[in-house]
A and B are shown apart, each in its own frame.
Chain A
Amino acid sequence: MTPDASLSALPTRAGLSAWVPFLVILPILGGLELLTRGSPFLVYISLMVGVNVILAVSLNIVNGMTGQFSLGHAGFMAVGAYAAAKFSMAMDPWKIIGVAVAPSDQIIFLFSLLIGGAAAGLCGFLVGLPSLRLRGDYLAVVTLGFGEIIRVVAQNSDALGRALGLSGIPQRTTIFTVGFFVFLVILVAKRLADSPHGRSLVAIREDEVAASAMGINTTAYKVRAFVIASFFAGVAGGLFSHFQSVINPMTFNWVRSMEIVVMVVAGGLGSTTGSVVAAVSLTLLPEGLRTLFNSLNLNAGRIDQVRMPIYGLLLVVLMLVRPQGLFGTREAWDMWRKRKPTPAATEEGA
């Protein structure tokens, strides 16, 4: 009964608690931004990590929480990347009157990210509506196909630069913006998981027939999960294109999709914490191995030959040792909560 007592006290400050995380995270991100000013490599790696975290956490909403196997996340990322890039390039000569150049650019950049996200979200809706009636392998094939369609369309469209892709995209992505969206996607995933909506998604993962018999419109729920995941994939694409400055269709092929799926699976399907940890470590691992082999004085050509097999081997070992992924379906914040024993838990122990 104690959790209820504490809950009943909450509604009075509910409005504030929605904003507290933002107030905490924004100065931290600003500090990080300033601290990393002088080290471009660190910034580059952090941006890559951040983009991958956004991709993994958002894909986890579909693949982990809802239990639908999507293999087309890079496709949605591509939609966002191209849409955001086209928008920024078109807007580049324009500045907002009365605002200094840098903030003006950042505001336009934010808009282009939202446009990228919205475009990807719309694609998610259009792809999801017919295909989310399918289950398991069938859905995987459809989403894989979608990803390839996007890539082929980009490869054959003059407006998107064909196989060469787009270049000269303004470099606007900062630690701050990436950090903000990493924070946002984690917050959305966590709060979603703790809501009736999230419970319904998990119910669909556990047993679709039963969920539907309990009044859950399973297709609609799956589509909404898909739209949210696609939106964040689009934002990640926008962030990616605005620090790479060059994008081409091959960046978003199915191998990219697989990388994200691997992160989600390695972290534990259904665990946001796991997705974050896996995305960070799997992004840093190849770089870490490069540094390691460099210090062993292997010649440059050899490094790549050894690096990727070791990366693969580590994944195989991980799956053998922990098939449920690093975190299973658990979350860091659950483990924190579990510290306080519930009445049922103590009963069981006695």
Chain B
Amino acid sequence: MSTPLLEAENVGICFGGLQALKGFNLSVKKGDLQGLIGPNGAGKTTAFNIITGVYSPTEGQVRVGGQEVTGRATWEINRMGLARTFQNIRLFKSLTALDNVKVACLNEEQPLFSRERAAAARAQGRRLTAHTMDAFANYADWWRALMRTRGFQADELRLTERAESLLEVMGLSHRRDELADSLPYGEQRRLEVARALGTSPKVLLLDEPAAGMNTREKADLMSLIRNIRDRFELGILLIEHDMKLVMGICEQITVLDHGQTIATGTPSAVRQAPEVIKAYLGSGELALDPVDAPQEAPRPEGAA
């Protein structure tokens, strides 16, 4: 419990002259459920992309399980125990729901050189050893797949079972053999979570998991997210626009605006922070505008 699973320390990134993120700090421990909020363009998804290795930060450090991840490839960071979903759904459209999850369940295989050992070597910083082990593991997989060995068939069975159990957790069992593309929007989002869970993560990043869902689906999702955290003993970090959802389930919230962290703390503390109210509703002077003031001003209290 003591060591954070995911740590960001003073992370910043510049795109040309634009400082998209600056001095970003974060610490997610096992069992945490944290929120990352902010107006559009505040740098939330940029933060996610830095953490998952899509972008390299221009300053600061990101650590997963105590290991520095800056400069590592996305797939390596995933193997270190970090999985994510995407804001604009990125499923493998022509694969079935089951196969989508099975793709992610790579870690379950136990080839000649096990992936656990490769991951251990990677965690110790022995990257060449880890790469070699992975390469051998993959070539062994080819051979096993071509020869249809018993081990291969047993693995396929185990993969299928695991993927089925994840689909069941996410309430998607009835969609098992349907193409990911043909699922309704809300179910596609849930399938993305199932797929991310397939990689056996320690930390799960959810990028707007409730986007495009109706009120009932959102309520279901809130309990589901809590359920996932407890069941898989994860740390969860989520980006969300829906204040009700964020305030309802997150224990700790970080608020970004223009790349700066303007508030951090419990939902009630964040809700009352003047910077947050200002970022979301504009400054006091503007709120005094005779037309806008009556509709805009009461809202923070109302939403709270």
Contact = CB atoms under 8 A, between A and B. Distances in A.
A305 B75 CA distance: 53
A218 B152 CA distance: 22
Contacts of A207: 90-93
B86, B138, B148, B153 — most chain A CB neighbours (10 Å): B148
A211 B73 CA distance: 12
B75 A216 contact: yes
B47 to A, nearest CB: 15
A342 B176 CA distance: 10
A200 B155 CA distance: 15
Nearest to B79: A215
Contacts of B196: 214
Interface stretch (A68-76, A87-95, A153-161, A188-196): A188-196
B157 A4 contact: yes
A209 B90 CA distance: 8
A92 B79 CA distance: 52
A214 B141 contact: no
Given A7-B153, A14-B150, A200-B106, A191 B145 contact: yes
Interface in A178-219: 187-188, 191-192, 194-200, 202-203, 206-207, 209-218
A334 to B, nearest CB: 12
- Number of chain B interface residues as a range: 35 or more
B83 interface: yes
Interface stretch (B15-23, B96-104, B275-283, B290-298): B96-104
Contacts, number: 141
A248 B89 CA distance: 50
Contacts of B199: 214-215
A206 B83 contact: no
A73 B54 CA distance: 32
Contacts of A212: 73-75, 78
Interface residues of A, number: 47
Contact of A200 (B76, B103, B146): B103
Interface of A: 4, 7-8, 10-12, 14-15, 17-18, 187-188, 191-192, 194-200, 202-203, 206-207, 209-218, 220-221, 224, 228, 270, 329, 342-345, 347-348
Given A195-B152, A196-B159, A345-B177, A210 B86 contact: yes
17 contacts: A7-B160, A8-B157, A15-B150, A195-B141, A195-B144, A196-B109, A196-B159, A202-B95, A203-B103, A206-B91, A207-B91, A209-B86, A211-B103, A213-B84, A215-B107, A220-B134, A343-B177
B198 interface: yes
B94 interface: yes
Contact of A344 (B54, B134, B177): B177
A197 B95 contact: no
Given A196-B102, A203-B103, A210 B174 contact: no
Interface in B32-80: 52, 54, 73-76, 78-79
Nearest to A19: B147
Contacts of A348: 178
B83 A11 contact: no
A110 to B, nearest CB: 19
